[in-house]
Amino acid sequence: MIDAAVDVLTTRYAYALMFVVMGIGMYMMIANENLVKKLIGVNLFQTAIFLFFVAVAYVEGGDAPIVPADPNPGELAMASPLPHVIVLTAIVVGIALTAVGLALLVRIYAEYGTLREDTLREVRADE
């Protein structure tokens, strides 16, 4: 049992780390009263997923997946290029999301003068 756990931690530490980061992100998203920090939590959560994809793509002893200059390179060990492409795309999507989220935050701050959820709740309840 412990051996297995140790095994996982030594060989798959990237995954374990990824889930830890994801958990932190999710916790921030849920528990933090500050809306900006919530958004940071979202970003952390997404970043953890990107790391996960990169970890998935890794092949032991593999190089970066760049087409070699040599037309006949022979046997090559390369990381899988597909997840990298995915992550690139996902990062773009994530940036767009963050931009929209920040825009909303600016608007909320302009309207209510606060970025804290508990204060916001009070302000809205008063209305």
Partner 1 sequence: MSNLAELLPALLIAAPILLATVPIVLGLRFDRTGWSVAAITTTALFAATAYLAAAVYETGRVVHVLGGWGEPQGIGIELVADEFSVLIALLVTVTAAAVLAYTRTGGPRGNTFYTGYLLLVGGLLGLSMTGDVFNMFVFLEIVGLATYAMIASGDGPESAVAALKYLILGTLGASMYLIGVGFLFMATGALNMDVLGEAIPQIADNGGSDLTLLRAAFAFIFVGFALKVAQWPLHSWQPDAYQHAPDGVTPVIAALVSTVSAYALGRIMYNVFGPEFLTATPYLTEIVVTVGAVSVLAGSTLAVIQRDVKRMFAYSSVSQFGLIVVAYGLVTQTAFVGAVIHLIGHGVIKAGLFIGAGVVAVGYGARTVDEYAGLASNRPFAAGSIALLLIALIGIPPSAGFIGKWYIAVGAVEAELWPIAIVIFLSTMLTLAYSARLLEKMYFTPATGVDSPHPAGVATDGGRAGAVSIGMLGILIVTAIVAIGLGFAGGAFFEWLEPFTSEVFN
Shortest spacing between CB 93 and partner 1, in angstroms: 5
d(Cα 32, Cα 35) in Å, to the nearest integer? 7
Q: φ, ψ for residue 113 (rounded to 5)?
A: 75, 20
Of 24, 29, 40, 78, which lies in the binding site for partner 1, with binding defined by CB under 8 A?
A: 29
* Tokens linked to 25: 């992100």
d(Cα 60, Cα 37) in Å, to the nearest integer? 37
50 to 109, contacts with partner 1 by CB under 8 A?
Answer: 52-53, 56, 82-83, 86, 89-90, 93, 96-97, 100-101, 103-105, 107-108
- Residue 37 contacts by C-beta under 8 Å, 6 or more apart in sequence? 28
Chain contacts with partner 1 (rule: CB under 8 A): 26, 29, 35, 38-39, 42, 45-46, 49, 52-53, 56, 82-83, 86, 89-90, 93, 96-97, 100-101, 103-105, 107-108, 111-112, 120, 124
